[in-house]
Structure 1
Amino acid sequence: MSLPVELSTIFRNKQKSYKMVLVLAMIDTWKETQDQSLKLDDVARRFLTYYQHREANNLAVDSSPPRVAVRWELMSISQVKSLLETPIEALRSIVIKQAGGAFLTFAESVWSKGAEVLPELQDYANRELELYHSHLGSEQGLGFSLKESLDHILHTYHEAKSESFANHPLGALFRKILPEQLRLLPFVSEHIRIQGSVGKGNWAGVPWIALMDTRVTKSTQYGEYIVYLFAEDMSAVYLTFNQGVTKPKTDLGKREGYAFLEQKVLELREGLNFEGFSTDEDIHLTSAGLGRDYQVSTAAYKRYYASNIPNDDQLVADLEQLMATYQEYVDRLLQTDQVDDPEYSLETVEEIMDEQAIRERIEYIKSYIQHKGFAYPPGLIENFYLSLKTKPFAILAGVSGTGKTKLIKLFAEAMGATTQNGQFTLIPVRPDWSDPSDLVGYSDLSGKFRPGRVTEVLLEASQNLNKPYFICLDEMNLARVEHYFSDMLSILETQEWQDGSIVTAPIIHDNSLVQEEDQVVYGNLSIPENVYLIGTVNMDETTHPFSKKVLDRANTIEFNDIFLAQFPDEELGMALSPEFTPNQFLRSDYLQLVDAYGVESKPLITRTTNTLVQINSILEEIHAHVGFRIRDAVCFYMLYSQRYELFSENEAFDHQLLQKILPRIQGSSASIRRVLLKLMRECVGSSFVINEYLENVDLLFDEGKLHKLITQAEYPQSARKIASMLRRLEEDGFTSYWLS
């Protein structure tokens, strides 16, 4: 049986392997389905699998289309379907589109010879591919193009920034593929660590790929290293001999840190041969923020414009030359014993986190939680973050099974705080707790101090101040919170600044300990600034209510909205890994209002305070008005939200009204109804006529009217909660924030 003439003629045409692999993919699809109409998706999947298999096993294979993906493993089925348009067109005499291109089939000239022709077709295509790959293998060498990779980044990064960050192919290119390929270069020694970044949780303005000699540095935050830096506008990429900026700025302050870096640059330029590289400050990566950092930290660079990236030979030669200079510098340091602390790493530095870095980390936490298969209401993670930033004590309330404890665990885990490393501790509260001994500890009959679980965490946290520690008190109101937790709450109120750190009064005084060894270990132990206390609560007949002492000191976050029809996203792919996050991310910047009061913050503080004054005048009627503690906390929350651009001003105040004011209201009197209606007017505006609802509050429960009120409200979440509390008051004669 002979092959169609068209096929053998087409195969002999000089072109990539796509046509031959397409035919093989179609035959494999037919073998499985025995259907002459072949789904394009099935054919594309087999087509892609062929290339991915050869690529993964380092076999000779055509490079993936550089403007689409730099590796076959990064290609999607939709991209492959677009790619197949060319070979389908080239094979149009024997490959026919059906149903608008959703299906493919062989032409009648093939089927007319019977199904027996397909194995012969398959053998022919395999022989042609074997010859093709044999020739290709002798030409390919390494099989990796640095030029294509840089081209791909420069021409696709802008578009990528408008797409989802999680599991994006560019992330894999920076973090995995490029480091792996650069490591294969013969001049890259075993001491070199290669690391790339496109950001953490959100796209970086200036992505980078660094090559660091681990004998002198293990982090881009200090020391010297080689790094490719991509301009924010993607007009160019720079190959640079650079320095870490974070540690000098942290240790010396911004001004002196810059002076140190500039002096180091002069020494590097005088002592090393940078022939062929620029040694000036004409490096333009970004117009703000890191732009100045790069200018003062770069000793030498070579600029590659996006419109004219050199060939691979030139790129590799440039890298080899700069690497030789770098190795000469490292050898000199090692010989003269001038190496700084090579163990300095991300976990021992107070990472400088600006507003953009904070937002990026929040986005990363959200992505991490999503990739664990959990979905929470929009804004909840931002709200939880702001609540802990405002005060290191928060309460999560809601019906059982809504994921309160899981939220705390995953939030901490995303920051690198896990049960395994001791930075996350879950403590189930027992109903019989009546004093703090179960948490803090006690002295036994012999005088030996037996520390409670909280004390153990406080001790470890005090020795690792740059790492955040989370304590989750699960179902904390199974016992009366004031009985076992009152000491902790009182100690939290003693927070003050001391040499740039937040300190509290001791939770364990040394004179209360009998044995000397206990005094050394636990004496005058306080609550460190890196410990965050979060309680979960269920409000039912088995639990205890909260006093104002507790409510004053916490943001109470309630989430009772449950959407059961939520399913894991099959497209999420590989889960993200926890990212170490320094305590600065969560540590409070303000303890008293005077810490925050300034020219920029004054207008927002004034507006917020004026609104609280108005609300206080309403609350006075039921003796539920707030004091300076709540005023300060609300202002801090508002300032953080504004600084990090997390919520609008109304959205942020809505959260605070819901979490700091409404939990204080409970009762059965007519005055409770009046106060709630007045607060409803504060939420929805002056058009809300209180007297109308005082006479007939049932009018408020009309679904259409209520929906319209909430839709138009300045503070819709609070308005919805107030309506719920009023309904409970009408139906049961008693209302509380905690009754839903």
Structure 2
Amino acid sequence: MRLKEILETVTNSWSSAIHEQFTDHPVANLLRQELLREVKKEVSLFDPSYEVKSSAGAGNWASVPWLSILNPRITTSTQSGVYPVYLFCADGSGLYLSLGFGTTELKEKYGTQGARKESAQLREEIRKSVTKLDSWNETINLNSNTSLGKSYEWASAGAKFYPANSIPDDNILLSDLNEILSIYSSLEGVKMNENTNNDKEVSLQSLSKPLLLLAGISGTGKSRFIRKQAEKTGSLNETYCLVSVRPDWHEPSDLLGYISRLNGAAEYVITDVLQFITKAWRAIVDAGISVERKYIDNQGEAFAASGEHEQLHSVLPYWLCLDEMNLAPVEQYFADYLSVLETRQWSWNKSEFCYLSDPLLKATTINQLSEPDKLREELGLADEKYDVLWQLFCKHGIGIPFNLIVAGTVNMDETTHGFSRKVIDRALSFDFGDFFPNDFSEYFNPTTTNKALTYPIWSFVNIEQLPDIDIDGKKSIAFLNSVNEVLDNTPFKLAFRSLNELLLSVISQQPQSDTELKAIWDDFLMCKVLPRIEGDSDKLAHNDIEKSLLMELHSTLENELSDIWHEPENSDSARPDLYREKNDGSVITIPCRSKKKITWMQNRLSKSGFTSFWP
């Protein structure tokens, strides 16, 4: 079949085909096979290294079907870079041969309006440098009603239109194709101002959990801290999302979205959070990490992400900031995340990993939709390279991506809600003023900096991963046993989850000395143990009537942390700060954190008859 015949068949059949079943439809097959083969034959004569891709949709009809030609020395993805592309009008009225450019990464970096401006600048740069484009149209009208289809219209440096009722003969079609290939080839080596790759080299400190609670008085910089963390490792537009929690949130749907049937059809109302979660999954795929179905013993078929340890270096942490997290009851609107968080599972075989997570958004919800492909497009998954990811979402649901870090800012006052132990047990709680103090004397010329943090890559401890200083974990286990003896017969007693997370902290930090190991224990007390302790004098009474539980804990820790308990700030024997360092990279030494906090909590109990960890 000649090129003209194929193009005529597709354009004349398109408007009726989209109302028929997509799977194995002859028009879709014509686009994916015959058209691709015919164009590839001509492109190979020009440059055999060029790749040809086509799409009529994935699972459902696309609004605008296309065939693209990619020079791997310019781009390998239709999401970014410049490439020739055939674009078929949504109503079947014709098609364009366009020198287009990918909009997905531009929109992620600049937003839709910003991407349009960048596209206009890119169009101007290309047309100035290539005079052959003077005879090519600057505007495109695809008659599409989808955001992706409309984006093709403004993402073009030049195009030629072929009406459905007067498509030219093959000699003209092939002449135009070779002309645009020649133009495309001339762009090789030309620097375009639309590269969104991140080339930052930052030393990262792995967290033991991907959920942080940053508690402190207003104005101490909690939200700014999260923002700066995203800046250290990525870009704000790409790897950071700020969500202001509303006081009326009570359902997980407030965070993740819901199905609406207001117009008779089942449509999904998405949220910024769900879009950001999906963006993090896209980053995993973009890094070349495999997403696939795997059979897991005693679990059956599951959605897994797997790859090599080296590949994780190119997967940036994605920071979701829940501002004023406890303005609404966290246990209610955050219930699904808190439950699914504990299903994350990392398994390692030497340098190879496999990651699993139960779904936050179940597949049954996606499959209830009248037009699932509309949700796919809204989630930024329209590109064919996300076909497998979308199919897995439809089969297994959308789980927690391993590169997602959720950080909530917390103020404890009469306008906010407290945290249950369910929340505290699943998070790392930071007294922000203790861990990241405001030093007025360093306002203009700070001498310290916060370390760059990244996502955990372990969920359960393997003894082989423990450092030499605690090679079998017995030191940390003995420490936690001592703490648990004080907490015995109280609601604050620790269980296996706490032990696992203490050992995860040891693995993440990899201490080289007893002082560093005890610094980890000290921070574990601050992040995981002391936040659980609250109550009045009766609740905190200990076996010894003269002593409260806090006083008994103080005595125990004075013995367990003797190496760092009495050391003042800047002492050579003081514990290191594990989350900050000096600007030159040298170690900051600080006093024992838990000693100060327990003393503060005990004084508060003595004065008011009630105490808690929160400032």
TM-score by length of 1: 0.42
Structure ranking higher in helix proportion: 1
Higher relative CO (Cα under 8 Å, sequence separation at least 6) belongs to: 2
Structure ranking higher in strand proportion: 2
TM-score by length of 2: 0.50
